[in-house]
Structure 1
Amino acid sequence: MAISASIQALIAGEQVAGSKLNSKLRDELLAEGMLLVISHGSRKSYRARDTEALKRFLIDKDESFRILEIDASDSRASMAIETGNSKLVMVRSCPGFPVNSYEPIECFLDGEAFIVNPQEGSFLFVAEWEKFIIPEDVVVIGIENMENFRMIRKQRVFFEEYLQVHKLSNRVLFVSRYPQSTDLRRWLCAIPNHYLYFGDFDLAGINIFLFEFQQYLGKERSSYLIPDDVGFRLKSGSKKRYDEQYCRFKDIKSDVCELQQLIDLICHERRAYDQEGYIY
């Protein structure tokens, strides 16, 4: 597949006019938080929030995008000489996902003891995720935003209070879906632990949870973190982001009562609230 000039420009960190992007792909990238919107009067252009995250998302979405993983320094000529195929699609160079914790969690990696206890200001990246095993009583908390993921200690009281109220284990391992790939989900499907999703309080975030996680893990093993004060916080949320998401996600529903109540609340307030608001 030939990668469009607009996608190549986004990957290069350039600004791209909205008219140059496929509308369906643009809406999907916006919903996933991949793009920044830049207004020019009535016209809009877009730029990637994180070019590596965008590349990872595209590759995961469609195998044809794996051509993006070929390093620019590897010319087609040199690849043809070495392999006889100038269109060779290379394997992913860095599979896996980041993990974090605010207290030591005794895990195993490839059969060897592996303590997850990163120093404040850092986190770990598990590349060989198929060989990563955690205790069964640990709750896995997936954090969608990297700022929240990096600053878990500033949210510790918030998490501990929530886990206590909802009668979940206070032993927690934090994970991130960055870079966007199916590695995290595949790992979650292979372990018995409960998965608690912590994302933005908007329709796009709920859509990610429903279709990227809950439909694979089931309702018994996955839940959406819904703070008690989210109704109050939504009143000061973003109306613009709600409006941008509404057409795409207006029909979203859940048969989990608490999650449907959150959907109804978001639609009633007609606002979206970012999870960064819970960093104290």
Structure 2
Amino acid sequence: MNNLSLAIAKKLLILENGEMLTGSSFNKIQLAKLEQEGIVAIQRIGRTKTRVRLNSEAGLANYLRNRYQIENLEAYVEMLQQIEISGREAQQMASNTKLRTSRTFKGFLVNVIKPIKAKLHGKEIVIEPRPGTFTFIHDYENFEIDKKVLIIGMENPENFRFIELQDALFPKGEKLFLSRYPQTNDLVNWLSTIPNSYLHFGDFDLAGISIFENEYSKKLGEKASFFIPDDIEKRIAEKGNRDLYNKQYVKYNTLKSSDTRLQALIDLIHANKKGLEQEAFIGNGMDR
């Protein structure tokens, strides 16, 4: 039996968690097989670029189970990341859905436009904007920031990278931008322990709203809100993607929200039959 490589497993885990990857992240043969089996959907962007999204959770689960005997993809990835672990032990770990592991790396990425003071283990640190780099908070249980700082979660890595191009979208004042990479619950766990307001900046589509509702709002309550720009109706009408809406419709067509703002956004998406990915907010004509 062949083992699934760590590199491929990590990519599939990202897709399983609702994220998208560029087509170039996979080799052509590998990607073609996944698409042929209905596991992923490929979206073309421009003439040369493509993006890959999970098309069938059940299909992926069956693929992993039947081909690699993997019942728990996240556990499989975590175990392969332990340097001393053997391939056999990793496989045993993956097939046990109830087994829990300790991770070598935990935490999340932070980014700022202007320096922000914080504390780590009670000692003051300064998080500074440094082009080309991000700060990774590993020991997040001992990470503190002023309660007045607005926390903005960026679901897409490119938006997180180019925060300075999107600053005008958000309220003035101190802002700390976060990315939940790797794809774990560490970010939400930390947010649940602090009083700061949390603003979620995700895709303006049914899947993006579902992620916020189920992974953030349920755990954080009223201090969490979904970022909706004033001109969202115009943006969706002019720049929205109908293919994106169609691919998500079967899974999310019954999505409802008790938040009137979010329900209005859901209604708007259905009315236009389009979804809008947050990358549309990263400047105009930018070569990404």
TM-score normalized by structure 1?
0.74
2:19 to 15, 33, 42: 33
CA–CA separation in structure 2 for the residues paired with 1:130 and 1:29: 27
Contact (CA 8 Å) 1:31, 1:204: kept in 2 or not? no
TM superposition shift of 1:36: 6.5
Contact (CA 8 Å) 2:107, 2:136: kept in 1 or not? yes
TM-score normalized by structure 2?
0.72
- Using a 3 Å threshold, how does the CA distance of structure 1 residues 171 and 110 change in structure 2: closer, same or farther? same
Which residue matches 2:169? 158
Residue 233 of structure 2 aligns with an amino acid whose one-letter code is G
Are residues 1:8 and 2:19 paired? no
Residue 223 of structure 1 aligns with an amino acid whose one-letter code is S
Contact (CA 8 Å) 1:36, 1:46: kept in 2 or not? no
1:230-251 deviation per Cα after TM superposition (whole angstroms, max 9, x unaligned): 1111122111111111111111
Number of aligned residue pairs: give it: 239
Are residues 1:258 and 2:253 paired? no
Are residues 1:66 and 2:61 paired? no
Which residue matches 1:146? 157
Residue 195 of structure 1 aligns with an amino acid whose one-letter code is Y
Structure 2: state its 5+ residue gaps. Answer: 24-30, 42-50, 54-60, 62-70, 94-98, 284-288
TM superposition shift of 1:34: 4.5
2:108 to 79, 83, 97: 97
Contact (CA 8 Å) 1:39, 1:45: kept in 2 or not? no
Which residue matches 1:18? none
Contact (CA 8 Å) 2:149, 2:175: kept in 1 or not? yes
SS of alignment partner, residue 196 of structure 1: strand
Contact (CA 8 Å) 1:189, 1:217: kept in 2 or not? yes
CA–CA separation in structure 1 for the residues paired with 2:160 and 2:185: 18
Structure 1: state its 5+ residue gaps. Answer: 15-24, 51-57, 80-85, 165-169
TM superposition shift of 1:179: 1.2
Contact (CA 8 Å) 1:155, 1:278: kept in 2 or not? yes
SS of alignment partner, residue 181 of structure 2: coil
- Using a 3 Å threshold, how does the CA distance of structure 1 residues 189 and 63 change in structure 2: closer, same or farther? farther
**Which structure's relative contact order is higher, taking Cα pairs within 8 Å and 6+ residues apart?**
1
SS of alignment partner, residue 8 of structure 2: coil
Contact (CA 8 Å) 1:70, 1:89: kept in 2 or not? no
Are residues 1:123 and 2:125 paired? no
CA–CA separation in structure 2 for the residues paired with 1:242 and 1:206: 12
Q: Which ranges of 4 or more aligned residues in structure 1 deviate by more than 3 Å?
A: 11-14, 28-31, 34-40, 42-50, 62-65, 70-79, 86-90
